[in-house]
Structure 1
Amino acid sequence: MPVTAQEALRITRVLEDELDKRQAKIKLWNDFYVGKHNLEWASDRFRQAFGGLFANFSDNWCEVVCSAPAERLVPVGFRFGTGDDKDPPAADKDAQRIWQASSMDAWARVAHTEAMVKSRAFVLVWVEDPEAVDAEPEITVEDATQCVVVYEPGSRRRRKAALKRWDGEDGYTYATLYLPDEIWKWRRSSSVSGLVLPASLTSGWQPRGDDPDQIRIDNPLKRVPMVELRNRPRLIDDPSPEHINVMPLQGAANKLVIDMLTASEGGAFPARWGAGIDLPKDPLTGQEIDDPEMWRLSVSKMLRASNPQAKFGNFEAADLRNFVAGITMITEHISALSRTPPTYFMGKVENVAADALTASEAGLTSKCGEKTTFLGEDWEEVVRLAFLVKGDTKRGNNPLAETIWRDVAYRTEAQHIDAVLKKKALGVPWRQLMEDAGYTPTQIDRMEAMLEKDAERAARALAFGGMGGEPPEDVPADVPEAEEVPA
């Protein structure tokens, strides 16, 4: 139901407040992902002595934990079921064209990474001119710091409203409110003489553009066109980033590595001692001369003593293996908590059987399979919105949509093909085998067309071979009588 401008402004402010509340957490999660870690486990004394030296240091495992599942989540196509078991649906070619027209084969991976890092990512489906006959939908990935979606009370699926807010380069902050029946567009001044001001000090939202009537446009989709991709969704709690449990261990790992580097500095130049050394005396005062330069050793200097009982030595350096053991324990805990395979944390892998490597990835494979279930529902809604933009209400409202994913499990080529051959022996259809082998629907269609052409050439060769000649290239395969062609 349409709302008044005053009600639309109230909804905008409510969503903006919710968006502002999320900013601090999102920044913290993103800082850990990119390696901006503070020395949270360091003492004040350590900060004073070495804080400047290690201010930008990080042994960053958060990036590995977030990227490991994100890189395996690859949508390769969509199906729309018909409800008829006798006619199993194939990959939808129109959905594939829309998907690739918006470069989503690349940007979907960015959306997954953003969801792993910031707990949420957003996808907007819209068109410049909804009234155009040949309107083509545009799918874009949006950032969690700029977007927010709210749902109907008691529902986790029915979107009530969405807001996108961003800063322009012209000194204005822009906002677009998406409602099921209408779209509201606002802007407000965000700078004075080039200085960016906080939202609390800026003027209120005003209609965007010179024409006040442009502030509102109808939403022909009758559905909020922004979809939220949630990582690790919960019933009541908010979704969380992939590295939320790893962040404290990340700080501990940084501390141990820094301590090891600091100890290695002392180990490279161990403290020395001397006993029974007769120091030279000042001939005028008779006092011993303790010249610091006398004890500064180098390759060209040697210590000597007149006392035959004098002794020299150096203190034993710290054993750095103790630090290595602690760092190894921390990374093992990170691996267990995040279900990231231990091989992702090793510099090298030696004498590990293929079956053992496969077993070590079971946790990550299971986690990625779970993510495809939830993210697949979101991508299906995105494609349905794209068809609504084109006026296709049949596919736009089809509840039997399905996302086709690339296999999330890692296998060697030999293991993969062996599994496909065993499935073939069980009677699995050819197209399903090709999907299991990792080919995209577009590749499968291309291979199917190539197989049909190969079969036509083989049929012509057999038919004309019986006549003692080669088939001309321009003769169709159905020139000889079909019953004379061997099966």
Structure 2
Amino acid sequence: MAVDAQEALRITRTLEARLDKRQAEIKVWNDFYGGEQHRLEFASDRFKAAFGGLFAGFSDNWCQVVCDAPAERMTPLGFRFGTDESGEPLAADKEAQRFWQANGMDAWGRVAMTEMMVKSRSFALTWAENPEDNETEPEITVEDATQCIVAYEPGNRRRRRAALKRFEDEDGRYLYSTLYLPDQVWKWQRRQLTSGLILPSSMALGGWEPRGGGKLDQVVIPNPLGRVPMVELVNRQRLVDDPTPEHKQVMPLQRAVNKLVVDMLVAAEAGAFPARWGAGIDLPKDPVTGQEIDDPEMWRLSVSKMLRASSPQARFGNFQAADLRNFVVGIEMLIEHIAAQSRTPPGYMTGKLVNVNAEAMQESEVGLIAKTKDKITFVGESLEEMIRLCFLVKDDKKRGNDPLVETIWSSVEYRSDAQVVDAVLKKKSLGVPWRQLMEDLGYTPSQITRMEAMLEQDANRAARALAFDGVGDLGPVAPAAGNPALDPAVA
């Protein structure tokens, strides 16, 4: 349903207010991930007196590990669309793969996963230079949580009502915003002072004015897709509460780790080296004044110096050095708590994997694998809507409205090649189709399609070779290369 300019401005201001409300939290989460927000917040006065600003940028950062561990395992490989007219399951859609590859989503998709872990949300915008032209190609861009927001219909978290993207130009003189509605797109701009204040001339429109200085009715363009073209990728989806970043629950523990580390540095500076003492020592006297000379350099020992005393009652000794292992035990305990609460494998946190067998490794990763599988279930729904929008750009309403589209994911488990091949051979004995076996081996849809063509070429080449040798009955043709156990003709 189309809206007029005043209603579009009202929606823009409403979404902008919600977006502004999120900024402070997102900055804290992002700073923790980068190791900036939590640095030395618990540093004591003794630490500051001992080191000053020497360790101002110090951070023993575990938040980054917690966020990166699941993100690096979330790799979309392609999309498939239900079944064909005969009811047979379809292979990965080649055109969907072309959209994905043409927009560099192999790389930007990873960025989207990481941003989602760090900031609780990331966004994917699907549009085109000329969306009314069916020959145009869809453009997919990954958007940041500080710039975008999506609003949903009341009572329905799946139906997008509107979306807003707000961004700044290079010199900071203008803010731009784009409001996406199901059937309209409105474009605004806002002039800023260097302090970020809004100029009075644009206050009548809540700070926004038509982009390019045109009239209000000239900033709207039609949205032929019939849907809001921005989708939200959400971490830790909730029913009522807002999503949270992956490292939110371990942020207090991160502060405590830094506290113990800086305390250990203070102890190392003050008492980790054994202090020496001497008693009953006759100090040399000044020949003029007769006063004892207490020269600090006399007690500063090195490899080339030694202490000597003329008095037989002189004694020397060392104070016991501070034991830093108490700090280490506390730090390790906190890191173990971080690993347990975030379900991050201990191998990511300690790096002490020595003589660990494959079964023990898999056991330690059960928590990470389980939570990552939950995440790809929800993220996959958003990516499927994104790819449907790509087909709507091409005016392909069949695939653009297909509810059976499915995201193909790379395995979230890390296993050796021998383990993977052994599992695939066992699945083959149960009758699992060849293409599914290839997906289980980790090949992308493009690689599988290329392998099918190569197998056909090998079979034709073998047939020609047999015919050239004068063999009358060629019989069944086997591929000349590859693993016969995984041959689709045999499978």
TM-score by length of 1: 0.92
What is the correspondence of 1:254-333 to structure 2 with a 5 Å cutoff?
Answer: 254-267=258-271, 269-283=273-287, 286-333=290-337
Instruction: Tell me the secondary structure at the aligned position of residue 158 of structure 2.
Output: coil
Q: Cα RMSD between the aligned structures?
A: 1.9
What is the correspondence of 1:238-257 to structure 2 with a 5 Å cutoff?
Answer: 238-257=242-261
1:486 matched residue in structure 2 = 475
Deviation at 1:103, TM superposition (A): 0.7
Q: Could you list the per-position Cα deviations for residues 300-344 of structure 1 after superposition, in whole angstroms to 9, with x for gaps in the alignment?
A: 433222221111122111112222212211111111111111111
Instruction: Tell me the secondary structure at the aligned position of residue 160 of structure 1.
Output: strand
What is the correspondence of 1:29-428 to structure 2 with a 5 Å cutoff?
Answer: 29-36=29-36, 37-82=38-83, 86-170=87-171, 171-191=173-193, 195-198=194-197, 203=203, 204-212=207-215, 213-267=217-271, 269-283=273-287, 286-428=290-432
Cα distance between partner residues in 1 of 2:46 and 2:197: 36
Q: Relative to structure 1, is the Cα distance of residues 266 and 47 closer, same or farther in structure 2, using a 3 angstrom cutoff?
A: closer
Instruction: Tell me the secondary structure at the aligned position of residue 137 of structure 2.
Output: coil
What is the correspondence of 1:21-36 to structure 2 with a 5 Å cutoff?
Answer: 21-36=21-36
Q: Relative to structure 1, is the Cα distance of residues 185 and 48 closer, same or farther in structure 2, using a 3 angstrom cutoff?
A: farther
State whether residues 34 and 63 of structure 1, in contact with CA within 8 Å, keep that contact through their aligned partners in structure 2.
Answer: yes
Deviation at 1:428, TM superposition (A): 0.8
**Given residue 181 of structure 1, which amino acid in structure 2 is its aligned partner?**
D
Instruction: Tell me the secondary structure at the aligned position of residue 238 of structure 1.
Output: coil
- More displaced 10-residue stretch of structure 1: 230-239 or 75-84: 75-84
Deviation at 1:387, TM superposition (A): 0.6
Instruction: Tell me the secondary structure at the aligned position of residue 173 of structure 1.
Output: strand
Q: Relative to structure 1, is the Cα distance of residues 172 and 419 closer, same or farther in structure 2, using a 3 angstrom cutoff?
A: same
Q: Could you list the per-position Cα deviations for residues 390-438 of structure 1 after superposition, in whole angstroms to 9, with x for gaps in the alignment?
A: 1011111111110000011110111111111111111111111000000
Cα distance between partner residues in 2 of 1:5 and 1:398: 33
Cα distance between partner residues in 2 of 1:267 and 1:84: 79
Deviation at 1:169, TM superposition (A): 2.0
**Given residue 325 of structure 2, which amino acid in structure 1 is its aligned partner?**
R
Cα distance between partner residues in 1 of 2:52 and 2:337: 27
State whether residues 190 and 198 of structure 2, in contact with CA within 8 Å, keep that contact through their aligned partners in structure 1.
Answer: no
2:8 matched residue in structure 1 = 8
- More displaced 10-residue stretch of structure 1: 100-109 or 81-90: 81-90
Cα distance between partner residues in 2 of 1:180 and 1:100: 26
Instruction: Tell me the secondary structure at the aligned position of residue 158 of structure 1.
Output: strand
Cα distance between partner residues in 2 of 1:434 and 1:117: 33
Misfit runs of 4+, over 6 Å: none
1:445 pairs, out of 443, 449, 461, with 449
Q: What are structure 2's unaligned runs of at least 5 residues?
A: 477-491
Q: Could you list the per-position Cα deviations for residues 19-46 of structure 1 after superposition, in whole angstroms to 9, with x for gaps in the alignment?
A: 1111111111111111112322223443
Cα distance between partner residues in 2 of 1:433 and 1:267: 62
**Given residue 274 of structure 2, which amino acid in structure 1 is its aligned partner?**
P
Q: Relative to structure 1, is the Cα distance of residues 60 and 199 closer, same or farther in structure 2, using a 3 angstrom cutoff?
A: farther
**Given residue 443 of structure 1, which amino acid in structure 2 is its aligned partner?**
Q
State whether residues 266 and 317 of structure 1, in contact with CA within 8 Å, keep that contact through their aligned partners in structure 2.
Answer: no
State whether residues 228 and 378 of structure 1, in contact with CA within 8 Å, keep that contact through their aligned partners in structure 2.
Answer: yes
Q: Could you list the per-position Cα deviations for residues 191-222 of structure 1 after superposition, in whole angstroms to 9, with x for gaps in the alignment?
A: 3xxx2414598851010014324311111111
Q: Could you list the per-position Cα deviations for residues 46-85 of structure 1 after superposition, in whole angstroms to 9, with x for gaps in the alignment?
A: 3454352221001111111111111110000001114868
- More displaced 10-residue stretch of structure 1: 207-216 or 409-418: 207-216
2:438 matched residue in structure 1 = 434
Instruction: Tell me the secondary structure at the aligned position of residue 406 of structure 2.
Output: strand
State whether residues 39 and 258 of structure 2, in contact with CA within 8 Å, keep that contact through their aligned partners in structure 1.
Answer: no
Deviation at 1:285, TM superposition (A): 5.0
Q: Relative to structure 1, is the Cα distance of residues 223 and 98 closer, same or farther in structure 2, using a 3 angstrom cutoff?
A: same
1:474 matched residue in structure 2 = none
Instruction: Tell me the secondary structure at the aligned position of residue 220 of structure 1.
Output: coil
Instruction: Tell me the secondary structure at the aligned position of residue 87 of structure 2.
Output: coil
Identity percentage over the alignment?
A: 70
Deviation at 1:287, TM superposition (A): 4.2
- More displaced 10-residue stretch of structure 1: 263-272 or 160-169: 263-272
Cα distance between partner residues in 2 of 1:460 and 1:424: 29
Q: Relative to structure 1, is the Cα distance of residues 422 and 208 closer, same or farther in structure 2, using a 3 angstrom cutoff?
A: same
Instruction: Tell me the secondary structure at the aligned position of residue 40 of structure 2.
Output: coil
- More displaced 10-residue stretch of structure 1: 349-358 or 375-384: 349-358
Cα distance between partner residues in 2 of 1:206 and 1:275: 84
